[in-house]
Structures are given as structure tokens and as C-alpha cells.
Amino acid sequence: MPGVSSRFNTDGIIESLMKIERIPRDRSEQEKEALLAQKRYWQDVNRRMVSLRDSARQLYSFQNPFNDRIITSSDGSVLTGTAIRQTTSQTKEFTVRQIAQSDRFLSSPVDDSFTVEAGAYTFSSGAERISFDFKGGSLKEFVDAFNRRGKGTVEASFVTIQSGKKSLLIESKITGAGNTLIFSNAALDMALKIGILEQQINMRDIPIHAATVNASSQEAERNTGQAVTVDNGSLNVSATADANVMFPDATIVNQGLTISFETATKVRATEPPPKAAPPPGPSIPNTGSVTFNGIVIDSAPSSVPIPEWKPPEPPVRIDDMNVISLTFADGTTIELAPIEDTTGFTQVSFQVPDSEIGKTLVSLSVVNKNTHRDVSLRHIQVMDPSDPINYKPKNPVSVAQDAIISMEGIDISRATNTIDDVLPGITLTVKKPSDTPVRITVEADKETIKDAIITFVGNYNRLMAEINVLTRTDDRIVQELSYLTQEEQEAMTERMGTFSKDSTLTQYKNAMQNTVTAPYPTATGTALLAKYGIGTDMRMSGSSYDASRLRGYLEIDEKKLDEALEMNLTEMQHLFGFDTNGDLIVDSGIAYALESITRPYVEIGGLISIRTATIDSRVKTNEQRIATLDKQLEEKEAALRVQYSQMESAYDRMEQMSNSLDNFSRQNSNGNR
């Protein structure tokens, strides 16, 4: 009771007695804690084994890194790429002519107070089209309404050019020459009003290249091969040679049809002809002689009458600047105005006479009758004012165009900068044009392979360290693990030797060591892991003895590993996992063998699962025993307290009786006196 103390220290006596009674219960509690610790250790070993199994499986499974491919670019700022696993190793050179772009048009500056008129606004880019009705409002309100409907196809924004002035930027999100930005309905009116677009007269370029240029039959007969040449869009016609530039499309002559082009001439230096000499005349043979009786009689010489020689007239110099003419489908031609001698190209324009209206123009001819003058022609254009008026951007930020790349002389164009259909399994990304060829190399991803091997070795060593600590009682094993933190070292020390009497982990450790040191078949023979710089003792000859190197840990000689990845990649792949019978299933190799010996330990219902289940059963038994002992101890303590309470009560009654007897005796003694 509170405030009441026992004169015999009953609580201390009971506690001492109960301490002895709790010994079986404390032993059961300690056994339970030891079993739970063993379970944690088995679970830690299981996690280490699973990590080793997974890293081993990664080295030989279908997704193994040996089949990964990467693309390296000699200039990543111009061209990059990615490759799928099935891509073969190869090297190609590309020249980026131009990148794919979309139309981005900027308006002329307008006041902040500019109001966009109400109307039906329609914009299209390629096959995509958006249309919306705008009720009229500020430039910001128009941009907001535009972007709510044009996301992913077209986009609008405005740029503050100066205080109080803004320009509207409208851009397509779809690249490619075939995806031009088109304004219709009220959008076209607004674009013309604020200077996004402007009208232009239809001009058509006539290309000059080998397919459109024909030399005349006279030139073919001359057979020099150099009198007519085409160089970078320029036609060069030497003196006395002829050539025709064919129009690729039929051109009907309408009123006002104009042909324009640029011409240049090169006058050859003139030299006086060599002085003519008379011909040597015929060669007359000797008439011979006759000998008779020692007398020689010579024949009279032959004679040939030779006409009087007159020197030839010097060659006539021809200067004729009427070298350009047009040819029509009906076979008629018209001659254009004469050109002029110029040191550089000069533009010339010629309007086709109305008398030729309705005819079909098929070619432009250069008939160079000059004996000392070469003529060059370029930039042929046809302007037909009768064609419908079209529009061009007034302030283009960029114009829609295809990406053009050249692969080993073959020009390739695509609408986007991501090109995935040129080489099988390769996706190229075009970033900027460059005149310098860019070399793209597809090769194995050696860094990923190396990282996977290092991960495998790391997981192997951590599992080996765990097993060494659990099965050995030598403190040096923990001290040798220099990569552990202080807390991890203390935790390792606590579990040291826990399974020293259990052969399960020792057997697994021996199997691990045998697996990584055994030879394995490859496509070229057999190989050992140590050949590639990975082994249990990679010391150089002459190195001092180190006991830690004999614990079964793997070491990596990085230099040898890098050399193997460079020179023997396929053989190394086979060393980790190899199909020996051609059934497309890996059945040999270090990684395959380690995964095989580990699987029975970590799979559901495996050895470790059985061990932890057994421990759980024993823990449950101990918990039941502890609960029973706790109940018995509680009853025992209650009984002791009752007994000692009764003892003290009896003592109190005896003491009271003794006091009563003493008082009675004293009273009797006083009465007798």
C-alpha cells in the first residue's frame, strides 16, 4: 500500500526469488533474439544472392549488354544517332546539306492598341488544319484564342520590338517542304494587313543540269567532250559550239510572258596565223642509167609541170552576239536580243512577242557562231503574269524545308530531322548543316558491358564477404573489408561465425569459386575468366603475399579487361553465356553456371526459404513458451506476495498479542504490590 513499507524488505525478497524463476524465460527470450538475428542474416545472404543472380543473368540473357549498340559521331553538333540491338557494326559518312525547318513568319511592328478584326480564321500546315471564329479583340486575346486551338500544329506569340510596338509571330510545328503554312479567309487578310505576307508575281526557275542540257549534233560530231559543259548550274558553250536547255514542264506563252537569265562572255586572245609556205611538190624518182662495154649512159631526168602557188586567205573572224534563241513545240524559233561582252554575269530579260501567244515553249538555245568567244548562261527564269497571284512571307524567321543529307554521294531528303529509314535499325538526328562529312560508327556499347561486368564482380565479392564473415571467426576477415563504414564493420563483427557449424554456405562458397575458375567453351575453343583480367588473384609476379587475396574474392585488371573488350568481345560474351548445341538457348558459361547454382537457394521454396521458415517456426514456439512462462511467473509472483503478506500479518498479530501479554503482566505486578 502507498506510504506503507515492509519491515522485512518483502519486495526485495520476492524480486530475488522471481529473478531465479525468470531464468528459463530469459533463456527462451535470448534464443528467440538469436533466431531472429539468424533470420536477418539469412535474408541478407538471400538479397546478396539475388543481386548476384540478377547481375549474372544480365550478362547472358536476351537483354545482355553484349548485344547493345551505340552510335558515335565524329561531330555530335551536326549529326547524332541511336541504334537498336539488332544493328550490325558499321561505319558510314554523311554530309548534312540542310536541316528540316518549319515556316515561322513575323509581322511588321504594330501598335499595342492594334485590334484584330472579327472573322473566320483558318490556318493549315500540310494535312493539319485549324479554323476558329474570332469575335475581335486585342493582339493578346487573338494569340490566346489561336493557341487554344492550334496546339501541336501551329502556334502564335508576340514579340515586343520597342516600347509600344509588337510583332506577331506565327509558326508551324510541322517541318518539311510539303508542310508550308497557309493562311485562309480572315487569316489571309490579317497577314497582308500587318505585313506577315506580301504578294508576289509567279516566277519559275528553269534548272540547268546534265539532264536538261543537250549539245547539238555538230558538237557531237566534233567529239571533243569539252565544248559544252555544265558546272554548278551554269551552262558554258565554247566558240562554234551549240547547246539547248530543255524546259522540264510545258510552258504556254501568255501575254506578258518574260524570260530572264544571266549571261557572261570570255573573249579568247587572238594571234596572227602562221606564215604559209608553198607545198614541196611531187617527189620524182631517178630514171636510172645503162652500161655497155664499159660505157655508162644516164637517162634524161623526168619533168613535171607545177602550177604557180598562191598563199591561202587568212581565216575569217566571226563576231555574232545573237546567240540566244527560243524554240517552240511547232519547230519555230525566235532569236532574242544580242548579248554584250561582260567580265561577269549580267541579267538579261526578254518579253516574248504577242505573236507567239498560245505556242508551247520547249527550250532555250545557245548557238555560238563566234570563233573566239565563249558564252556562259545561268539563272533562267520564266515569269508569267497571267498565273494566279500567290504570296510570300515578308519577314520569314525560317521557311519550311526538308532535311537533306548525303550518304556517300547519295542525296537523301526527309521532312523531319529525325530519320529512321535510311539504314536498318538506325535513327539519325540532324542538328545543323555542315560541309564537312560526319562519320557515324555503330559499335558495341563497351562501357555498358564493362559496367555490367564490374557490377557482377562487385555483387560476387559482397556475397563472398558475407559468407566469409558468417562462416569464419577470424577478425581479420572484417578488417580486410576496407570499404565498410564503422557501423557496417561493427554489424559484421556481431554476426561473425554465426553459421560456422552450418555447411550450407560453405558448400555454396566452394561452388562459387569452382564456377569462376573453370574453363568454358567458346566459338573458338575454351577460355578462362582470368584471360580477360578477372580472377581470384591478379597480382603481378613478384608481389608480396597477401592473405586477403586467398579469401575467394575476384579482382579486375582494368587494362587487360579493356583490351579484351576491344579485341575479344565475342569470345568474352561466350565465356559468360554460350549456346553449345545451337538450339538458341544458353547452356554454358560463367554467368549461366552461377545463376544455376544460386537459383535453388533463392527461389520460392528454396534452401534459404526453408531455413527462414524453420526459424519462424522455432520463434513461434519460443514465443508460445515465453507467453506460458510469463503467465506462470505472474501467478508465482502473486502467490509469493500473498504468502509474504500473510506472514507479515501473522507477525503483526503475534506482536500485538505479545504486547498485550506484557501489559497484562505489568498490570498484575502493580496490583500485587
DSSP 423: S
Q: Which residues of 451-487 are buried (b: 16+ CB within 10 A; e: fewer)?
A: ebbebbbbbbbbbbbbbbbbbbeeeebbebbeeeeee
pLDDT (0 to 100) of residue 220: 40
Partner residues linked to 128 by β-bridges: 125
Percent of the chain whose predicted confidence (pLDDT) is above 70: 93
**CA–CA separation, 352 and 645 (whole Å):** 138
CA count, 13 A, side-chain hemisphere, 31: 18
Band of pLDDT at residue 662, cut at 50, 70 and 90: confident
**CA–CA separation, 552 and 477 (whole Å):** 12
Mean pLDDT of 88-92: 91
CA count, 13 A, side-chain hemisphere, 663: 6
Locate all alpha helices (DSSP H) within 59-138, ordered by sequence: none
Sorted by where each begins, the domain ranges of the chain are 29-64+447-609, 69-98+402-443, 104-201+392-397, 205-268+319-387
CA neighbor of 472 nearest in space, from 497, 448, 495: 497
Superfamily of domain 205-268+319-387: Galactose-binding domain-like (2.60.120.260)
pLDDT, tens digit, 9 for 90 and up, residues 187-204: 999 999 999 998 776 778
Mean pLDDT of 418-439: 93
Examine the pLDDT at 433 and tell me if it is beyond 90: yes
Cell of 275: 606564215
Examine the pLDDT at 4 and tell me if it is beyond 70: no
Stronger pLDDT, 647 or 499, i.e. the higher one: 499
Window from 122-136, 264-278, 469-483, 547-561 with minimum mean pLDDT = 264-278
pLDDT, tens digit, 9 for 90 and up, residues 102-122: 999 999 999 989 999 999 999
Q: Contacts from 11-14 at CB under 8 Å and sequence distance 24+?
A: 13/644, 14/637, 14/640, 14/641, 14/644
Report CA-CA distances (Å) from 348 to 261, 337, 352, 360: 5, 9, 13, 21
CA neighbor of 71 nearest in space, from 399, 438, 351: 438
pLDDT (0 to 100) of residue 3: 46
Window from 1-5, 581-585, 630-634, 665-669 with minimum mean pLDDT = 1-5
Residues in contact with 301: Cβ distance below 8 Å, sequence separation at least 6, in sequence order: 284, 286, 287
Locate all alpha helices (DSSP H) within 194-286, ordered by sequence: 217-222
Please report where in the chains the cell 537523301 appears, as a residue.
412
**CA–CA separation, 340 and 104 (whole Å):** 42
Please report where in the chains the cell 554476426 appears, as a residue.
495
CA neighbor of 348 nearest in space, from 264, 265, 258, 261: 261
**CA–CA separation, 281 and 542 (whole Å):** 102
Examine the pLDDT at 529 and tell me if it is beyond 60: yes
pLDDT (0 to 100) of residue 273: 63
**CA–CA separation, 239 and 234 (whole Å):** 16
Examine the pLDDT at 429 and tell me if it is beyond 60: yes
User: What angle (nearest 5°) sits at the alpha carbon of residue 12, between those of residues 6 and 18?
Assistant: 130
Mean pLDDT of 11-29: 82
Report CA-CA distances (Å) from 310 to 272, 288, 306: 19, 34, 12
DSSP 582: S
pLDDT (0 to 100) of residue 217: 44
pLDDT, tens digit, 9 for 90 and up, residues 286-304: 777 777 777 877 777 777 7
pLDDT (0 to 100) of residue 588: 94
Stronger pLDDT, 58 or 653, i.e. the higher one: 58
pLDDT (0 to 100) of residue 474: 85
CA neighbor of 62 nearest in space, from 650, 585, 610: 585
**CA–CA separation, 648 and 650 (whole Å):** 5
Q: Please check whether residue 634 is in contact with residue 642, taking contact to mean a CB–CB distance below 8 angstroms.
A: no
Give 3-state DSSP helix, strand, coil % of the chain, rounded to 5.
35, 30, 35
CA count, 13 A, side-chain hemisphere, 47: 7
Residues in contact with 403: Cβ distance below 8 Å, sequence separation at least 6, in sequence order: 96, 98, 99, 100, 175, 413, 414, 415, 416, 417, 419, 430
pLDDT (0 to 100) of residue 222: 46
pLDDT, tens digit, 9 for 90 and up, residues 301-315: 777 777 777 777 777
Position 417: which residue type?
A: N
**CA–CA separation, 486 and 469 (whole Å):** 16
pLDDT (0 to 100) of residue 539: 58
Report CA-CA distances (Å) from 389 to 195, 357, 392: 17, 20, 10
Residues in contact with 470: Cβ distance below 8 Å, sequence separation at least 6, in sequence order: 41, 45, 495, 496, 497, 498, 499, 500, 505
Partner residues linked to 263 by β-bridges: 346, 377
**CA–CA separation, 50 and 602 (whole Å):** 7
Residues in contact with 144: Cβ distance below 8 Å, sequence separation at least 6, in sequence order: none
Q: Please check whether residue 648 is in contact with residue 6, taking contact to mean a CB–CB distance below 8 angstroms.
A: yes
pLDDT, tens digit, 9 for 90 and up, residues 575-624: 999 999 988 899 999 999 999 999 999 999 899 999 999 999 988 998 88
pLDDT (0 to 100) of residue 117: 94
Examine the pLDDT at 480 and tell me if it is beyond 90: no
User: Would you put residue 526 in left (φ > 0), alpha (ψ -120 to 50) or beta?
Assistant: beta
String of DSSP letters for 382-447? EE-TTSPPEEEESSEEE--B-EEEEETTEEEEESSSEE-SSSTTEEEEE-S--SS-EEEEEEE-HH
pLDDT, tens digit, 9 for 90 and up, residues 28-79: 888 888 889 889 999 999 999 999 999 999 999 988 999 899 999 999 999 9
Position 426: which residue type?
A: I
Instruction: Tally Cβ neighbours within 10 Å of residue 400.
Output: 22
**CA–CA separation, 1 and 297 (whole Å):** 186
Q: Taking the mean position of all CA atoms in its chain, how far away is CA 548?
A: 43
Q: Which helix (H) or strand (E) holds 647?
A: helix 607-672
User: Would you put residue 542 in left (φ > 0), alpha (ψ -120 to 50) or beta?
Assistant: left
Q: Which helix (H) or strand (E) holds 97?
A: strand 90-98
Partner residues linked to 90 by β-bridges: 442
Examine the pLDDT at 541 and tell me if it is beyond 50: no
Band of pLDDT at residue 224, cut at 50, 70 and 90: very low
Mean pLDDT of 408-437: 92
Global model pTM greater than 0.85: no
Q: Taking the mean position of all CA atoms in its chain, how far away is CA 238?
A: 52
